[in-house]
Amino acid sequence: KGIVTGYKGAEPTYLHTIDPTKSELYGGQQQTFVAPYTKCNRIEDYRTAWAHFEKIFNTIYRFYNIVDDAEITMEANPDDLSDEYVSMLSTLSFNRISIGIQSFNDKTLKLLNRRHNSTQAIEAFNYCRKYGFQNISLDLMYGLPGESMESWGKDLDIITKLNPEHI
* Interatomic CA distance for residues 32 and 41, integer angstroms: 17
* Interatomic CA distance for residues 11 and 127, integer angstroms: 48
Helix-, strand-, coil-residue percentages of the chain, each rounded to 5: 40, 25, 35
Q: Which residue has the higher pLDDT, 25 or 124?
A: 124
- pLDDT, position 155: 96
Strand 96-102 vs strand 66-76: parallel, antiparallel, or unpaired?
parallel
Q: What's this model's pTM, rounded to 2 decimal places?
A: 0.78
pLDDT in tens, 97-137: 999 999 999 999 999 999 899 999 999 999 999 999 999 99
* Interatomic CA distance for residues 107 and 104, integer angstroms: 9
- pLDDT, position 58: 84
pLDDT in tens, 74-93: 888 898 888 988 998 898 88
Segment (H or E) for 47: helix 43-63
Residue 21 scores a pLDDT above 90: no
